Chain A
């Protein structure tokens, strides 16, 4: 080793490089590599068998994978849109409150204080076909005399999961949009009134363009959230029954841990991550556009 003297800046940066390599780069490369092997947790040797793109070929031609993929996109689309509309309405209502606005804001955030796992359990009980409060209420109101199989029918289960997602996370939109409303200068709204706008037109032409960037930030955050959704679904239906509510990450987790096919699961993960990156990129582009539009200085 004598005679090898690294430059001071290299030496100083080395610990950071080593830590990063150990916790990020190596696992990432390893997982990427393993997606090209038939690696099974039960047969460690299989990691040395290189099979090229066979895992990917298999996934891309697998109907079940594409159904789970599509269901994830569907969940994302429904949840984001509904959450945005509800969050917007909530934010507008809370902003109107002249008294107790702080306490309303706090109450609004309650759902975010619960672990998604607990939210999953709670909604699983609420949607239970025998003892759940949803069926109970529907029956008491005389709307139905059946026990609706909320968590068993594929479409109904999807709706139940959607409701749980929306309940737990609408506050994200509400808070961001409320922040936008509160940061908004009053005068353009008054100018709009004088310029002849009805309240609805004021919202359409002045308020909405102003809060749009805030909504897009919430969209970006929530799209990542839902694209990696796992806990609520895992608890409520576990992707079942018979795969009727399977989404990407429940499928990946099952493949990796129950079936112990880590190589295949890793390949799926890389495809799933592509989906997340796609959504993030899309929303960031929208955000940049909206920000530029209102001439935001942030």
Chain B
């Protein structure tokens, strides 16, 4: 078990810098998720921690050891790959015991460790099979078994669930969470799926274009996104984000439609400021079909036309036209709405976010 720290970590391919001096302290036994769109540098960062990519600048420490120049085998880490990366010519048991065999442990010791891991992951029945005879989910479990057998300081997961279908992915997500509760070790988990990041991790690191945008608990990044990018990336459906201009206690959108300036931001902006207004679909609902989280007087209601609806059973996503664009609203206890029908739409402004239009930074603080 160990901490991991990245200090001013830089990665360049030739002239192209893909990771720009990132800093991160991972606590002992923490489950941390690196999340971001493709090409944001999350996998590269993970591979640098693993030692599969050279480090261009900065340093990586695992525990109190600087590991920059150590080969992967000396870092005492385990990694689970997106494509599982099982050894095709070995049985499940041999795959799981391979690292111990290389380390020169006795066969007895290996068998015990493999049996233990197999029990944890319910792989006992499959020990004599080869990877080609397993399903995707089973292969993924073997890959995890191979990782836990070594009892490493740090587990690294590189998009481990991306190759599974939706249902299996949810199942494996739960298993990973249980596994972490059981094994209690430091985990760094790379994913592009914000739901995985939210559900699994203690803290989330949101990356974009080789920078860290925000580090925080799932609640923090969801409720207090520090940048416009984080606000748009975390949460499903995505937050409604629209540019507006501040004008005498109002926010005026491009087509002239306006909303009152949310109370929390009255001191933070002055007339003429260009801002981005953000409101989650949860805080935007047809009047009477949602719950406001703050004071009742913060709820602002407007009559707007419905464009389309997406019924999900327990709720309906309503696309309503406002400020020249469709806004996504979430309708609880749904009733049927017709496109073109005018409804009263409630904006819970106590939950609104404002970002500086030019820097994308939050105006909350």
Contacts and interface: CB of A to CB of B under 8 A. Distances in A.
Nearest to B149: A195
A195 B146 contact: yes
Interface in B77-124: 77-79, 81, 83-89, 98-99, 102-103
A249 to B, nearest CB: 38
For chain A, what secondary structure do more than half of its interface residues adopt (helix, strand, loop), or is it mixed? helix
Given A191-B79, A195-B102, A196-B103, A295 B88 contact: yes
Interface of B: 50-52, 71-73, 77-79, 81, 83-89, 98-99, 102-103, 130-133, 146, 150
B129 to A, nearest CB: 10
Q: Which 9 A-B pairs have the closest CB atoms?
A: A295-B132, A187-B85, A195-B99, A191-B85, A196-B73, A209-B89, A193-B72, A293-B89, A295-B88
A196 B87 contact: no
A293 B130 CA distance: 8
Nearest to B50: A194
A188 interface: yes
Contact of B71 (A193, A205, A206): A193
Nearest to A184: B88
A20 B198 CA distance: 71
Interface string A222-254: 000000000000000000000000000000000
A201 B102 contact: yes
Contact of A194 (B79, B88, B130, B132): B79
6 contacts: A187-B85, A193-B73, A194-B50, A196-B150, A201-B102, A209-B89
Contacts of A190: 50, 52, 72, 79, 81, 85
Interface of A: 185, 187-188, 190-198, 201, 205-206, 209-210, 293-297
Contacts of B146: 191, 195
B86 A188 contact: yes
B73 A191 contact: no
A196 B98 CA distance: 9
A197 B150 CA distance: 13
A34 to B, nearest CB: 49
Contacts of B73: 193-198
Nearest to B98: A195
Given A188-B88, A196-B99, A294-B88, 19 more contacts: A187-B85, A188-B87, A190-B50, A190-B52, A190-B72, A190-B81, A191-B87, A193-B52, A193-B73, A194-B72, A194-B77, A195-B98, A196-B102, A197-B73, A209-B89, A294-B89, A295-B88, A295-B132, A297-B132
Contacts of A209: 87, 89
- Scoring B84, B88, B146, B150 by chain A CB atoms within 10 A of each residue's CB, the highest score goes to B88
A279 to B, nearest CB: 24
A191 B84 CA distance: 9
Nearest to A190: B52
Most buried by B among A209, A295, A296: A295
Contacts of B51: 193-194
Contacts of B72: 190, 193-194
B81 A210 contact: no
Contacts of A193: 51-52, 71-73
B52 A205 contact: no
Contacts of A194: 50-52, 72-73, 77-79
Contact of A210 (B79, B89, B98, B150): B89
